[in-house]
A and B are shown apart, each in its own frame.
Chain A
Amino acid sequence: MGQKGIIFDIKKFAVHDGPGIRTTVFFKGCPMHCWWCHNPESHKIEPETITRKVVTSSSKACYEKKEVIGREVITEEVMKEIEKDLIFYEESKGGVTFSGGEPLFQPEFLIDLLKKCKKRGIHTTLDTSGCASKIELLKIIGLVDLFLYDLKFVDEEKHLHYTGESNNQILDNLKTLAKKGKKIIIRIPIIPTVNDDQNTINQFGELLSTIDILRVELLPFHKIGEEKYLQLNKVNRMKDIQKPTKEHIEAIKESLEKFGLKVKVEE
């Protein structure tokens, strides 16, 4: 029998998490607690119950539904779901993406899944914050075809303040991956008033121009997580932050491009 793990969703036809048509497996549990996280249900590793309001179509009655977020699964179960769309991965040169939460937060489970995917010839993408020990990283490095590597800051102090974790290991891990010649896409969430100032952007530019990466993807802050904070009864510290303007995102893009980087905006 395979490893056990906790996931909170498996999304088919995921077309924004790597090349082609993919299935994204969302791991539950994350060592970081970024203020702007739009998946607050992924923080705790343990399954948790939320209350959703359901509006029924014709009766217009509002009706409350309890829902458990997260479930324990074994790798075979997840593989069965992943393999259902094999034909679409083959057609589109897609595959599977492990996201979260932080997949590296459940390393044994992740390694087991990655190994099984490799055995089936499925392209693997890891969407990670890089917040893991170097040993864990080295264990999976050969099993991942593409890294979607999230950076929030270069500055250690700000990183610690807004995410609750140190940035040193994260940046170090990134360099390790690059040295091993892995394919890396850097993803930066652009959070107004937090990391969208010119200074921060320049720091990104300086750092990334020294590392071999495919491109940078900018993820403008959006408010889709708002409802979830309410349902989970969690404090939403970004309540008053509005999404950045198109012009501002464009300016950031241009700034980064001046460092010789390839930049794409993910809407």
Chain B
Amino acid sequence: MQFGSDDLAKYTFLPQAGDFIRSQGISISDLASNDYQKVVKRAEQRVLEAMKDAKISQDISDREIEIMSFPVALMLVKSTNLEHVMSRFALAEAIRVEQFLKRERNGKIIEELFKTSLGLELEHNYQNPSLPDFKIPLEEYLRRASEFHKTEWKLVNRLVGEGKVFLIQDDLIRLIREEIRIMIMARLKEIKVSKLPENLQEVVKEIIRAAPPPPQSPYTIIHIAPENYPPCVRKALDMLDKGENVPHYGRFLMATYLLSVGKSVDDIVALFPKAPDFKQNVTRYQVEHLAGLKGGRTRYRVPSCNTLQTHQFCFMDPIKCYQITSPLQYPSRKSPELAKASADKNSKSTRAKSSSTQTKERSKRDWTKTRRR
């Protein structure tokens, strides 16, 4: 199907929007000319809004400018060479798309957009007005919805028939927001930007000035030595440190892990302010929920290594993660290399071992035992 310029202005990430720009035959050097000043201005606005407010305005009255400013914004963001700027921009663009999609009245557009951009076969339910408007394959629903913990997302509370799940538009769009973010992020990683004209270089500098700085170090507020944290937890902390958007499972892992090693809810909430979508009260509620203080009063367990692998949040260290099944077992006690290293160390230091080192090692072991209980 053909997208109109109205659609391309809303969904600027569509490949068809790229075709439109190509048809105009513009080169990067053209962006220095006065003819494209409005485009550059809007691109700058998109990025600055994302940096300052974590969302992007939705005025599409000048469609051509809206369409053309998106790739220019991508170039500007890419040129900052800062991961947390890219991440913040991708999330804000995803939220912009999400808002347009939730208001989209043309079912065919949604169907086509899902198919071409997400590879997801969506069906519009035209036959039965008493049922929700869309259906998606059940397995595709499960792959996405198992990330959500609210009971309304459980399959049992959904309308299911012949291997399809019926969804109202809002739920359908909520289900794929993360994918749009990932798609825009992937686009950012993929593009290569040659030297920008001077006026754009100035804009890039302005963006860097406006971007929230990455926090100094998240580890300073942690009482247990961070080197004892498994690589997956460290990765999540590191991403937060850089102001990147940590995927759902990363946040879930980090919070449950820190809770289980004795961190307080306050300690954990204090790690989040740099997250692009940070809202103090929401984060607090979520962490309290995981701690079993809110909602179903179940204290959530740290996800297993298997689960983390399933959710692509495993950053295995082949030696220290050897044969462990949970991040709580890190560092591995089964690893032959670690056992050997520890035996060598013990035999060398038997005579000269200071009492402080002994205490330190004992406390490390005791801690491991406590965690496992």
Q: Answer yes or no: are A and B bound together in one complex.
A: no
Interface residues of B (CB under 8 A from A): none
Interface residues of A (CB under 8 A from B): none
